[in-house]
Structure 1
Amino acid sequence: MSLLLERHGQCLCGAVQLDCRLDNSDVSACHCQTCRRWGGGPLLAVECAQPPVIGGGDALGIHASSDWAERGFCIHCGTHLFYRLKAEPHYAIPVGLLEGEDWSLASEVFIEEKPAWYCFANQTRQLTGAELFAEHGQPDDA
Structure 2
Amino acid sequence: MSTSNIVKGSCLCKAVSLSTTSLNHQIAACHCNMCRKWGGGALLAVECGSDVSFSGEDNIGIYQSSQWAERGFCTNCGTHLFYRLKQNHQYYIPVGILDNVEGLVLEHQVFIDEKPEYYSFANETKNMTGAELFAQFAPPDERQ
Q: TM over 0.5, yes or no?
A: yes
Measure, in 2, the Cα distance between the counterparts of 1:103 and 1:120: 15
Tell me which protein shows more helix as a share of its residues.
Answer: 2
* Deviation string, structure 1 residues 49-76 (Cα, Å, up to 9, x no partner): 3231011100010000111110000000
The answer to whether structure 1 residue 140 and structure 2 residue 143 are counterparts is yes
Q: Which residue of 2 aligns with 1:38?
A: 38
* Deviation string, structure 1 residues 65-106 (Cα, Å, up to 9, x no partner): 111110000000000000011112221100001121321100
The answer to whether structure 1 residue 74 and structure 2 residue 74 are counterparts is yes
The within-5 A match list for 1:1-142 is 5-99=5-99, 100-138=101-139, 139-141=142-144
Q: Look up the SS of the partner of 1:71 in the other structure.
A: strand
Measure, in 2, the Cα distance between the counterparts of 1:124 and 1:42: 15
Runs of 4+ more than 2 Å apart:
21-24, 137-141
Gaps of at least 5 residues in structure 1 are none
> Alignment length, in residue pairs?
138
- Letter of the structure 1 residue corresponding to residue 65 of structure 2: S
* Root-mean-square deviation over aligned CA pairs: 1.6
Cα distance, 1:91–1:62 mapped onto 2, change above 3 Å? same
Identity, in percent, stands at 53
Measure, in 1, the Cα distance between the counterparts of 2:95 and 2:33: 19
- TM-score computed with the length of structure 2 as normaliser: 0.89
Measure, in 2, the Cα distance between the counterparts of 1:84 and 1:93: 9
- TM-score computed with the length of structure 1 as normaliser: 0.90
Gaps of at least 5 residues in structure 2 are none
